[in-house]
Structure 1
């Protein structure tokens, strides 16, 4: 009996060790996180799916010379990221910060990093494209030439693939970076993984700030054109900056605090609080999947008219709303939005 008990304890110790590393200490709080992710999933999935349907079957984005190609990939990345949320919510409800199944855990990390990185990358590329269109409208640039071909989007996806490798080498979700017993090789892996995480947010953030400031300044100096359209354009680019800052900067700061708590060997209670705050702000970052279509797509009058006429024609109440044809042209008038 004693031998069996001892054998059972020894057999289960590796699993218990993993559970202890990634155990959610504040169960009620993590159940709230799970509820938030489920709400985001329920709201964002049909919205992104319907927008994706319009891009494919109505706008035929691959034939468009506008930034529809980039917007399509942005929505595609968001909708792929959404499929990770139910699994994440299930783990939180069980009181686990990540799956105890190694294959599921690494698969989730791959999907989260790839699609989240793609979402941020296409968001940044769209902002750069808008920057050249507004600030340097007559200047030839490489992006303007490349965006006419869908191949540039494939290249962006392929470039993001190697960036997911560091996240697969060691568990990321529980932030085991820079452990006191880490070897030099493990610390190198930790540094690579953290560099990927921060570069995916910090570099696009500075690009976004630069583009937004110059676009807003250029639009405010314009004296020719519809003032309403100019105000709408300023609101759009400012909204993008606000959404990015709201969704991604808080979790980045929380990650820094969590790493500091581990390196400086804070008390266990303090590390648990830092981990819970980081996980909660990561949940906030998933809100980007819901806000992206609203900010990028529905700020366009012609896209909003197309969406309403396709899915909610009864809301038009007989008003004449410009609807975009499958070729990307607006009938009967053209109503471009920056």
Structure 2
């Protein structure tokens, strides 16, 4: 009796039932992780950004690196505005219910803010690097007006490069017969404008990452090579570049590596499925940068840190002065009722003057 057909039948049945059940479990795991990360991003990132904007409003001296950091805050703020719609889609099992137009706007906003965040993180690191390595170069003495122009140019470039996303219908039906809003998905036919999006997604990671690594290596190298007078500036620059490089690598590398892995393993459906799920989890790390960027604000600018400490210090001082005022008012009342108070002399303290006015 030939058992080979039965073996093939059970093997195909095993593949359909077992592997698909694993795929569903992995989809649920990646969706749950994305929901958790995006909710965490809102809970942690939004208060941090509001606090950062409040501190920036109290600043009087807007140096170039402060301008770059402010634009980084604005990019994070725009990202957080778009995140609730992604949370709703994942809660609905991936189903997008806000229409095709808003799907394109949402994907466009998420992509532009990611590109802008990468650009301004790199610009802040380069600014710190030039201050240490080339302190007498004209770039090191960049004016605030020039920094504003550079920031405007960055916004123009990142928004222009992503315009094809606004002209592409990224709302499509998935294998589960659900309308999903994704720029990265298993398209039967990939729209041509998305090819540019995929290339930029990879390019805008590797180029800034190599620049950040170079800055991290070059600053200590120049420290050994020559003496630099102000050690505090050097320490702040090294700390800023290292923090930016760490946040950048942690947030943006997982999605790029797993995305390339899913492309490489296209021939194996099971391996591709695993890499696709890993890519979705990597996308979750991308959202974390808006929650971690407040760390960059503190370590990249001593002015930002000092303004924060002064603002917090004033609040604490005001809270401590409340009981003091109560004691002063009691002392004034006791002074007003003191029989030895002479009305003929001119007191020097304003509290005694007010007491005399009350007596007269």
TM range (shorter): 0.7 to 0.9
Aligned residues: 285
Tell me which structure has the larger Cα radius of gyration: 2
Deviation, structure 1 residue 155: 1.8
Query: Which of 157, 162, 182 lines up with 1:173 in the alignment?
Result: 182
Aligned to 2:125: 127
Unaligned runs of 5+ in 1: 1-22, 319-338
Tell me if 1:37 matches 2:35. Answer: no
Q: Indicate how the Cα distance of structure 1 residues 133 and 233 shifts in structure 2: closer, same or farther if over 3 A, else same.
A: closer
1:135-175 CA distances to partner (integer Å, 9 max, x unpaired)?
A: 11101239825764523212211111121123342538353
Aligned to 1:250: 254
| C-alpha contact (below 8 Å) 1:98/1:173 kept by paired residues | no
Q: Indicate how the Cα distance of structure 1 residues 29 and 139 shifts in structure 2: closer, same or farther if over 3 A, else same.
A: closer
Q: Indicate how the Cα distance of structure 1 residues 176 and 149 shifts in structure 2: closer, same or farther if over 3 A, else same.
A: closer
Aligned to 2:50: 49
| C-alpha contact (below 8 Å) 1:247/1:288 kept by paired residues | yes
Q: Under a length normalisation based on structure 2, what TM-score does the superposition of the two structures give?
A: 0.69
Query: Cα RMSD (Å) of the superposition?
Result: 3.1
1:275-317 CA distances to partner (integer Å, 9 max, x unpaired)?
A: 2211111111211112222123245444323213324756799
Deviation, structure 1 residue 101: 3.0
Unaligned runs of 5+ in 2: 1-23, 171-180, 320-360
Aligned to 1:68: 66
1:153-198 CA distances to partner (integer Å, 9 max, x unpaired)?
A: 1221111112112334253835347x6x64xxx5743431211211
Q: Indicate how the Cα distance of structure 1 residues 24 and 202 shifts in structure 2: closer, same or farther if over 3 A, else same.
A: farther
Equivalences for 1:163-312 in 2 at 5 Å? 163-168=161-166, 169-171=168-170, 173=182, 175-176=184-185, 182=189, 188-221=192-225, 223=227, 225=229, 230-261=234-265, 264-267=266-269, 269-298=270-299, 300-311=301-312
Aligned to 1:82: 80
Give the secondary structure class of the aligned counterpart of 1:197.
helix
Aligned to 1:154: 152
Q: Under a length normalisation based on structure 1, what TM-score does the superposition of the two structures give?
A: 0.73
- Between Structure 1 and Structure 2, which shows a larger proportion of helix residues? 2
State the distance in 2 between where 1:213 and 1:128 align. Answer: 13
